[in-house]
Amino acid sequence: MDKQTTNPSAKLASFAANLRYDDIPAAVAARAADLFVDWVGSALAGKGARPVETIARLAREMGPAEGPCEVLIERSTTSPLFAALVNGASSHIAEQDDVHNGSVLHPGTVVFPVALALAQANGASGREFIAAVTAGYEVGIRVGEFLGRSHYRHFHTTGTAGTVAAAAAAGRLLSLSAAQMVDAFGSAGTQAAGLWEFLRDGADSKPLHAGKAAANGLMSAYLARDGFTGAHEILAGAQGMGAGMSADADPARLTKRLGSRWALAETSFKFHASCRHTHPAADALLLAMTTNALRPEEIGKVTARVHQGAIDVLGPVFDPQAVHQAKFSMGTTLALIALKARAGIGEFEHHFRDPDVVAFRDRVEMRLDEEVDRAYPARWIGKVTVETHDGRRFDARVDEPKGDPGNTLDREEIESKFRGLAEAGGAATAAEVDALLPRLWSVGSANRMGMLLARREPRW
């Protein structure tokens, strides 16, 4: 049998290289536009965040002073590489970018920075943009699923699988052949990185993971276009990503139902401005409190019943010292839900160290739940047990957190979220948002992808 027909990297590469807009179901293309609007909001929210501004300064020092691609938080222009780097980082700092449950991947934060940069650089149409985005989501999600649960214990999947996702989107917009796309995947996979250790001391690494995944994937595609070769079996090879970064990698997940199952449509919006692992319990706590008319001062203890992945990621964060670290604290997130009825950007920014929030935080614990753990990562079930000071006990569960496809955000909710994100960092005025949103919603019909906010031609 021809090795090319059995190599999952080659099959994925052929799919990404040959995907056309007309191959994509209309509902999936529409969902891609929804996710694009959501991503732009997250990218704008990075304005003013110290880690993002540091990366943006690096881009200004190392990159060209101007170019064909837009840096959204600055309204400046630069090369595709540095635009992807900064926009990727800025869209991952507010913790509101999309997530795919089964792969535990944030695909939008690595795919859209690349697709937007190259579409602007090459004057691609909205249809070409959507095709490239879809290729990136489909590839990245499958690579994340292939790497499995063991990978996520140490590796940030958005930094690892996300690099290959970015290469797929970039390769599609650069019109790579299937063989060139294999090379792009090979170069992307050998650069895939991102470790969770940063959570223990609240280091700045997380947005760097996303920015570098986007930039490295884009670079890999450009190199492949110029004949630079990459490992042909980087995913499932004997010394590839699966072998080196996972104990439960399953190559069948890479190509199963490729072209008939559209993983992009399974992607969830993030409703709370915190790590996704906190969302199921946050929704369950809110349900317990509203159903039973509980006041926060009545609550003596909350037990969040979670999957092992939540314990692995959130467990090291018990006394957050910075806003971003607080977003990985189950106790802080549930305290804000209980005391403020929401865990949005403003609540974290202004209240994560409030004495009442800290006191409630310390009454929250996580406990492994067998049902929740068995369902994860395909389903993220939320369960909490609430105990009151006077001895009452209430259990609540949520089977689909807010933002999941079965409990999704409608257009009005996406727009409301967008406005809050744009306002948070002062990246766009209300009038500018009013003018921008109709263009973003209609991205698929754009004749040429131009600038969103930068005051230079070509404008879109």
What's the predicted TM-score (pTM) here?
A: 0.96
Tens digits of residue pLDDT in 206-261: 999 999 999 999 999 999 999 999 999 999 999 999 999 999 999 999 999 999 99
The answer on 101 and 38 residing in a single domain is yes
Residue 430 counted as domain residue: no
3-class DSSP assignment, residue 39: helix
Where a domain ends, among 247, 266, 285?
Answer: 266
Where a domain ends, among 241, 266, 291?
Answer: 266
3's CB contacts (< 8 A; 6+ apart) are: none
Residue 313 counted as domain residue: yes
The answer on 281 and 348 residing in a single domain is yes
**Which ranges constitute the DSSP H helices of 22-125?**
26-45, 50-62, 80-90, 108-122
In terms of Cβ atoms closer than 10 Å to its own Cβ (0-12, 13-18, 19+), residue 370 is: exposed
The answer on 218 and 187 residing in a single domain is yes
What is the pairing mode between strands 364-368 and 299-306?
Answer: parallel
The answer on 28 and 122 residing in a single domain is yes
pLDDT score for 5: 57
In terms of Cβ atoms closer than 10 Å to its own Cβ (0-12, 13-18, 19+), residue 286 is: buried
Which band of pLDDT confidence, cut at 50, 70 and 90, is reported for residue 6? confident
Range of the domain at 298: 276-402
Which band of pLDDT confidence, cut at 50, 70 and 90, is reported for residue 460? confident
Tens digits of residue pLDDT in 148-197: 999 999 999 999 999 999 999 999 999 999 999 999 999 999 999 999 99
The answer on 121 and 90 residing in a single domain is yes
The answer on 173 and 64 residing in a single domain is yes
Residue carrying structure tokens 């996704």: 276
The answer on 177 and 35 residing in a single domain is yes
Tens digits of residue pLDDT in 86-145: 999 999 999 999 999 999 999 999 999 999 999 999 999 999 999 999 999 999 999 999
Residue 151 counted as domain residue: yes
The answer on 333 and 294 residing in a single domain is yes
* DSSP class per residue in 324-368: HHHTT-HHHHHHHHHHHS---HHHHHHHTT-HHHHHHHTTEEEEE
Residue carrying structure tokens 């967008």: 418
Closest CA to 313 of 456, 434, 155: 155
The answer on 332 and 225 residing in a single domain is no
pLDDT score for 194: 98
Tens digits of residue pLDDT in 366-422: 999 999 999 999 999 999 999 999 999 999 999 999 999 999 999 999 999 999 999
Cβ atoms of 71 and 88 within 8 Å: the answer is: no
Where a domain ends, among 402, 428, 448?
Answer: 402
- pLDDT of 51 strictly over 60: yes
pLDDT score for 456: 75
Percent of the chain residues past pLDDT 90, beyond the cut: 96
Residue 357 counted as domain residue: yes
Q: What is the CATH number of the domain that holds 262?
A: 1.10.4100.10
Q: How many domains does the chain have?
A: 2
Q: What is the CATH number of the domain that holds 394?
A: 3.30.1330.120
pLDDT score for 1: 38
Identity at 330, one-letter amino acid code: M
Q: How far apart are the C-alpha atoms of 145 and 268, rounded to whole Å?
A: 15
In terms of Cβ atoms closer than 10 Å to its own Cβ (0-12, 13-18, 19+), residue 257 is: exposed
In terms of Cβ atoms closer than 10 Å to its own Cβ (0-12, 13-18, 19+), residue 276 is: buried
- Residue 337's alpha-carbon distances to 110, 244, 288, 357, in angstroms, are 29, 39, 11, 10
Residue 458 counted as domain residue: no
**What is the token pair recorded at 73?**
């938080």
Residue 360 counted as domain residue: yes
The answer on 255 and 292 residing in a single domain is no
